């Protein structure tokens, strides 16, 4: 104990001297300011404490009236409050009863159920609130009470006791006596504290141009995901069809597929509307990126009746018949359309890569 405390003693003395110097210079500055006080500003406070000194006078005894002044009026108010609370209770029971009574297996029944549940709940809350307001305004006393705050600062005795306990604890825990324990503990915690900072490295490196393009290029055949078979428009000819397709030769390249996955949809005649790019369709067959432009989930829940493409993660909904425009949800732009054409053998192939980056926004997206 004495060994470790020894060198610290002169330090503390030096610190005390420094504080004394600062205090002296501070008081000089105060006097200077007081002399050059700007007219119209308040004078510096005389007292140095934030709170008034705690007076020794006993705090006035809290006295609340035992009864309201207008006793007959209070009786009426009491009845009104009790009536309100009774109504609230009945409405609450009615809510439960309505929930049990109304079956909700058809649209009409749901409407009736909602009306009954809403009405009973509204009446219950309204009556409860009305009763509470009448109670407060008519029955509770209207008296202002003042409660003095106690001083926030601890007493010198408490401070000294705390310091003593702290020092005793430090000594009893052997933390001070055994430097090897102390130093290895610090050595053990420092790497754990630094680890989260090291993880910040994952914020980089920036993707730069790597997300701008997919592996689709002019002449890449569209193949069925799972069987890797190329497609002709004659095979994919039933309106309402939808298939997951990938670029030929990349079936086992997950990095490539993560960007190049595409949904192929066959429409009936005249079902495709602007702003779908008609030059990029073949025989009413349209291809859209499968990667949601919101956060990159596979948006492939295609409904052939409504032509909606739904993303299951955040319910972004795209109208496949109208250029995959966003009609609901957080996505900020349509699914990119893949330009299609036929090759010499009559298979569906890409005209080019997607004309804009697929998937969610990123730092350097142009």
Partner 1 sequence: MSWITSRRRHPAAGYAILFLGLLLVGALYASITGGGAGAAAAPPATVDSAQISQGHTIFLQDCATCHGTGAQGQPGVAPGLIGVGAAAVDFQVSTGRMPAAELGSENPRKPPVLNTAETHAVAAYIASLGGGPSIPGAAQVSESGANVGLGQQLFVADCAQCHNFVGAGGALTYGKFAPALTQATPTQIYEAMLTGPEAMPVFNDATLTPDQKRDVVAYVTGVRSEANPGGFSLGRIGPTTEGLVAFLGLLLFMVLVAIWITAKHGKTKTHE
Give me the residues that bind partner 1 (CB under 8 A), please.
Answer: 106-107, 224-227, 231, 234-244, 265, 298, 300-306, 308, 310, 312, 315, 317, 328
Which is nearer to partner 1, 215 or 310 (by Cβ)?
Answer: 310
Which is nearer to partner 1, 84 or 263 (by Cβ)?
Answer: 263
CA-based nearest residue to 321, from 268, 247, 255, 359: 268
Which is nearer to partner 1, 179 or 268 (by Cβ)?
Answer: 268
Alpha-helix runs per DSSP H in 254-361: 254-260
State how far the Cα of 298 lies from the Cα of 324, in Å rounded to an integer.
Answer: 14
The least distance separating partner 1 from the CB of residue 243, rounded to whole angstroms, comes to 6
Which is nearer to partner 1, 317 or 337 (by Cβ)?
Answer: 317
The least distance separating partner 1 from the CB of residue 13, rounded to whole angstroms, comes to 35
Length of the chain: 366
Which is nearer to partner 1, 4 or 315 (by Cβ)?
Answer: 315
CB 320 within 8 A of CB 265: yes
The least distance separating partner 1 from the CB of residue 228, rounded to whole angstroms, comes to 10
The least distance separating partner 1 from the CB of residue 18, rounded to whole angstroms, comes to 40
**In terms of DSSP bridges, do strands 340-342 and 325-328 run parallel, antiparallel, or are they unpaired?**
unpaired
Which is nearer to partner 1, 92 or 298 (by Cβ)?
Answer: 298
Q: Which residue has the tokens 């036929």?
A: 342
Chain centroid, CA 139 distance in Å? 44
The least distance separating partner 1 from the CB of residue 214, rounded to whole angstroms, comes to 18
Which is nearer to partner 1, 21 or 235 (by Cβ)?
Answer: 235
The least distance separating partner 1 from the CB of residue 244, rounded to whole angstroms, comes to 4
Angle, CA of 48, 51 and 54, to the nearest 5°: 110
109-143 b/e with 16+ CB inside 10 Å = b? eeeebeebbeebeebbeebbebbeebbeebbeeee
The backbone region for 226, taken as left when phi is positive above 0, alpha when psi lies in -120 to 50, beta otherwise, is: left
The least distance separating partner 1 from the CB of residue 303, rounded to whole angstroms, comes to 4
Which is nearer to partner 1, 187 or 234 (by Cβ)?
Answer: 234
Cβ neighbours of residue 343 under 8 Å, at least 6 residues apart? 219, 221, 349
The least distance separating partner 1 from the CB of residue 320, rounded to whole angstroms, comes to 11
Q: Is 286 exposed, middle or buried (0-12, 13-18, 19+ CB in 10 A)?
A: buried
The least distance separating partner 1 from the CB of residue 312, rounded to whole angstroms, comes to 7
Would you call 277 helix, strand, or coil by DSSP? coil
Which is nearer to partner 1, 242 or 352 (by Cβ)?
Answer: 242
Q: Check residue 221 and report its DSSP letter.
A: B
State how far the Cα of 298 lies from the Cα of 314, in Å rounded to an integer.
Answer: 11
């Amino acid at each position: 104990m004495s060994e470790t405390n020894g060198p610290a003693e002169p330090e503390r003395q030096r610190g005390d001297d420094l504080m004394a110097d600062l205090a002296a210079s501070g008081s000089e500055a105060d006097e200077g300011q007081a002399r050059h006080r700007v007219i119209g500003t308040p004078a510096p406070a005389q007292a140095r404490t934030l709170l008034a000194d705690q007076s020794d006078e006993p705090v006035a005894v809290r006295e609340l009236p035992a009864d309201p002044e207008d006793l007959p009026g209070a009786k009426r108010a009491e009845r009104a409050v009790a009536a309100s609370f009774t109504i609230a209770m009945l409405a609450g029971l009615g809510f439960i009863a309505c929930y049990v009574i109304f079956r909700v297996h058809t649209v009409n029944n749901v409407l009736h159920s909602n009306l009954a549940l809403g009405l009973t709940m509204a009446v219950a809350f309204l009556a409860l609130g009305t009763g509470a307001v009448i109670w407060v305004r008519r029955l509770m006393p209207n008296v202002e009470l003042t409660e003095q705050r106690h001083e926030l600062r601890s007493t010198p005795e408490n401070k000294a006791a705390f310091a003593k306990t702290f020092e005793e604890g430090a000594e009893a825990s052997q933390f001070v006596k055994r430097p090897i324990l102390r130093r290895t503990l610090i050595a053990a915690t420092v790497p754990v504290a630094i680890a989260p900072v090291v993880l910040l490295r994952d914020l980089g490196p920036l993707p730069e141009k790597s997300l701008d393009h997919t592996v689709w290029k002019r002449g890449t055949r569209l193949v069925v995901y799972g069987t890797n078979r190329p497609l002709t428009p004659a095979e994919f000819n039933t309106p309402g069809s939808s298939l997951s397709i990938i670029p030929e030769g990349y079936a086992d390249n997950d990095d490539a597929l993560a960007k190049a996955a595409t949904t192929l949809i066959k429409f009936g005649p005249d079902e495709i509307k602007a702003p779908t790019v008609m030059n990029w369709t073949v025989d009413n067959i349209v291809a859209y990126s499968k990667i949601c432009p919101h956060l990159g989930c596979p948006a492939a829940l295609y409904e052939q009746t409504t032509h909606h493409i739904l993303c299951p993660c955040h319910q972004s909904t795209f109208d496949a018949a109208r250029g995959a425009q966003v009609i609901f949800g957080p996505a900020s732009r349509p699914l990119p359309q893949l330009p299609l054409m036929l090759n010499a053998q009559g298979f569906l192939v890409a005209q080019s890569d997607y004309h804009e980056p697929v998937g969610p926004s990123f730092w350097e997206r142009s």
